[in-house]
């Protein structure tokens, strides 16, 4: 079982990498990881008011399912608590939850068709992404049940007119899923800009299904990718570990 300190360092690293990749939306997105232990879940999340590149292992806060800060000196973003507590309370396998407002993610979230099958990267998400209708800013705790229904057993969720969400058994899993979901959205946004030059080709459903099954067979490689990202981060700035 992973210790709280290890999870703190791993989650802080995810925030720093997200800042490096340009995923920030000032103070308004959030990653969380459930802490080990029996009883009602508690999770680590960023303290509201900090930029991603300011997050460290020690300044992450612990929140319970009622929104109480169990450990830490700040509060959680209210909408962030609604979204993350919804997933952590419903999915035992969703130890880590990541939510972003990236430009490509929000662009695809604005598309009626959602995520299209345009590229090999997109196929990893074939029939593995849910869609959640926009209800306004997620301050209403009643929305949690509807978020849970929209996510189902999928690995990701597109919050329509809002952004992206990924879940994983580990921080490495959730970050990998978010990275490639965002990349698939980048490809779709770029392809849309080429539309005046000709028809955009989509991958037929049987082939998308086949490629998705192939990619599911190499999911153990996510940890290798995560370790490579951590090595890059450590070469640049390892202050997230504090």
- Strand 163-168 and strand 61-64: the pairing is unpaired
**Domain 4-234 in CATH: superfamily?**
Class II aldolase/adducin N-terminal domain (3.40.225.10)
* Average confidence (pLDDT) over 206-218: 95
Q: Is the pLDDT of residue 64 over 80?
A: yes
> What confidence tier does 42 reach under pLDDT thresholds 50, 70, 90?
very high
* Average confidence (pLDDT) over 51-70: 97
pLDDT (tens digit, 9 = 90+) per residue, 85-140? 999 999 999 999 999 999 999 999 999 999 999 999 999 999 999 999 999 999 99
Q: Is the pLDDT of residue 197 over 80?
A: no
Q: Would you state the pLDDT for residue 219?
A: 85
Q: Would you state the pLDDT for residue 73?
A: 85
> What confidence tier does 145 reach under pLDDT thresholds 50, 70, 90?
very high
Q: Is the pLDDT of residue 1 over 80?
A: no
Tokens (6 digits) for 193: 């800009």
Q: Would you state the pLDDT for residue 166?
A: 98
- Strand 129-132 and strand 96-100: the pairing is unpaired
pLDDT > 90: percent of the chain:
92
Q: Is the pLDDT of residue 213 over 80?
A: yes
Average pLDDT over the chain, rounded to an integer: 96
| Burial (CB count <10 Å: 0-12, 13-18, 19+), residue 45 | buried
For 44: left if phi > 0, alpha if psi spans -120 to 50, otherwise beta; the answer is: beta
């Amino acid at each position: 079982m992973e210790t709280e300190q290890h999870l703190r360092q791993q989650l802080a690293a995810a925030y720093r990498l997200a800042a490096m990749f340009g995923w920030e939306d000032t103070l308004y997105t959030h990653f969380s990881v459930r802490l080990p232990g029996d009883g009602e879940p508690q999770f680590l999340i960023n303290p509201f008011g900090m930029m991603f590149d300011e997050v460290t292992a020690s300044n992450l806060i612990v929140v319970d399912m009622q929104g109480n800060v169990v450990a830490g000196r700040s509060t959680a973003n209210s909408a962030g608590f609604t979204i993350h507590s919804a997933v952590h309370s419903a999915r035992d396998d969703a130890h880590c939850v990541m939510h972003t407002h990236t430009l490509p993610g929000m662009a695809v979230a604005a598309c009626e068709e959602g995520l299209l099958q345009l590229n090999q990267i997109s196929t990893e998400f074939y029939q593995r992404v849910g869609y959640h209708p926009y209800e306004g800013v997620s301050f209403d705790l009643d929305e949690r049940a509807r978020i849970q229904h929209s996510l189902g057993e999928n690995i990701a969720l597109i919050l329509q007119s809002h952004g992206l969400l990924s879940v994983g058994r580990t921080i490495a899993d959730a970050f990998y899923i978010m990275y490639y979901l965002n990349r698939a959205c980048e490809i779709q946004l770029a392809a849309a800009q080429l539309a005046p030059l000709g028809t955009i080709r989509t991958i037929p459903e049987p082939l998308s299904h086949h490629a998705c099954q192939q990619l599911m067979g190499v999911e153990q490689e996510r940890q290798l990718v995560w370790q490579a990202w951590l090595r890059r981060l450590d070469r640049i700035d390892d202050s997230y570990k504090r």
